[in-house]
Amino acid sequence: MQRHLISAADLTRDDAVLILDTAEEMARVADRPIKKLPTLRGRTVVNLFFEDSTRTRISFEAAEKRLSADVINFTAKGSSVSKGESLKDTAQTLEAMGVDAVVIRHGASGAPYRLATSGWIDAHVINAGDGTHQHPTQALLDAFTMRRRLVGRDAGIGQDLSGRRITIVGDVLHSRVARSNVDLLHTLGAEVTLVAPPTLLPVGIGTWPCEVSYDLDSTLTKSDAVMMLRVQRERMNAAFFPTEREYSRRYGLDGERMARMPEHAIVMHPGPMVRGMEITAEVADSDRCTVIEQVTNGVSIRMAVLYLLLGGNEPAVSGARPPVSPHPSSERSAHTPSAAEEK
């Protein structure tokens, strides 16, 4: 593992599988009556959010607290950013208070990279979404959800997503989720197809490690997972499709379309969903839709990332081996935390 998590493209196959396997251990902890581990006791993590968030911000906070870290929450709204304070000065101000890791969401692509490489601060940096660039923990929680559903919770340990066919549909142009997922899923051996109107595909899409299609109906029938993307109106400064109705007709997922997917195939969405636009309520509320499961899995993934970046070589869960092996054995089992751990 590198010192920071900036991009899904920086993860090797072994890094990614290690994070997924560690997240399985963390998920077992979450199933217990007492969900806390002492792993990051005495460490301080700041959540630095310059853009709105529900899922990512709250699940990072939950993950940090479950690992017993001290948590500082910073949102740009209501801070001295409104008085013109820069990212550098904001970050250095927070580090002066003794911060070990910074989780950052920023509207500018590249802001987490700048923070990690500028020498402004010494803390670990975790990208919680930057502009249209990357959202690596989203891609990891999506891969975790796919591995659990398509390979199996126990059978998946040590495994990647080789040969699984994943379709990502919608506003790829503005989507850091799509970019991160293509990078990570390719690393994990999956076959990815992007389906979008030509106006919502970025320049240079031909260099991405995936297929591109404009025909959702023909792609659905060959998919193990279909990930619907939100149309990001807030990032649009032009008309990218004629009408919402036309968009939904060509690229929306309704019950009729979902019925044409293979029986085992799942529907995913990173959230927030725009019901009636990219996904109907019938699909969003169906058993095949994993949107709530993805949120739950997000806490386990973020615990795993924080632990692997900050926790050193101590086992995340006492009784389990430290994560020195890229392929932890499936025999690695959960244990009952000691009294000391549960304090």
Q: Which residues bind ligand CP (CB under 6 A)?
A: 53-56, 129, 138, 270-272
Find out whether 105 is annotated in a ligand binding site.
Answer: yes
Closest approach of ligand CP to the CB of residue 135, in Å? 6
Whose structure tokens read 């293979």? Answer: 262
Find out whether 138 is annotated in a ligand binding site.
Answer: yes
Residue type, 145: T
DSSP secondary structure letter of residue 325? S
C-alpha 275/C-alpha 61 separation (Å) is 27
Nearer to ligand CP, 197 or 270 (CB): 270
Nearer to ligand CP, 54 or 92 (CB): 54
C-alpha 101/C-alpha 80 separation (Å) is 21
Find out whether 83 is annotated in a ligand binding site.
Answer: yes
Query: What is the side-by-side strand order in the sheet with 165-169?
Result: 211-213, 191-195, 165-169, 225-228, 266-268
C-alpha 269/C-alpha 283 separation (Å) is 11
Kindly write down the DSSP assignment for every residue of 211-268, as one continuous string. Answer: EEES-HHHHHTT-SEEEE----GGG--S--SS-HHHHHHHH-B-HHHHTTS-TT-EEE
CA atoms within 13 A on the CB side of 164: 30
Closest approach of ligand CP to the CB of residue 221, in Å? 27
Q: Say if CB 1 and CB 308 are below 8 A apart.
A: yes
SS3 (DSSP) at 18: helix
Q: Say if CB 305 and CB 15 are below 8 A apart.
A: no
Nearer to ligand CP, 189 or 272 (CB): 272
Identify the helix (H) or strand (E) that includes residue 73.
strand 70-75
Whose structure tokens read 């000391």? Answer: 340
Closest approach of ligand CP to the CB of residue 270, in Å? 4
Identify the helix (H) or strand (E) that includes residue 13.
helix 13-30
Nearer to ligand CP, 170 or 311 (CB): 170
Closest approach of ligand CP to the CB of residue 279, in Å? 14
Nearer to ligand CP, 270 or 311 (CB): 270
Closest approach of ligand CP to the CB of residue 53, in Å? 3
Closest approach of ligand CP to the CB of residue 197, in Å? 22
Find out whether 3 is annotated in a ligand binding site.
Answer: no
Nearest C-alpha neighbor of 295 from the set 54, 6, 33? 54
The DSSP bridge partners found for residue 201 are none
Nearer to ligand CP, 158 or 271 (CB): 271
Instruction: Report residue 184 as tokens.
Output: 């990570």
Nearer to ligand CP, 230 or 332 (CB): 230
* Cβ atoms < 10 Å from Cβ of 48: 27
DSSP secondary structure letter of residue 181? H
Closest approach of ligand CP to the CB of residue 62, in Å? 13
Find out whether 249 is annotated in a ligand binding site.
Answer: no
CA R_g for the chain = 20
Nearer to ligand CP, 22 or 138 (CB): 138
First and final CA of the chain: distance in angstroms?
29
Closest approach of ligand CP to the CB of residue 175, in Å? 10
Find out whether 176 is annotated in a ligand binding site.
Answer: yes
Numbered residues of the known binding site for carbamoyl phosphate: 55-56, 105, 135, 138, 271-272
Numbered residues of the known binding site: 55-56, 83, 105, 135, 138, 176, 230, 271-272
Numbered residues of the known binding site for L-aspartate: 83, 176, 230
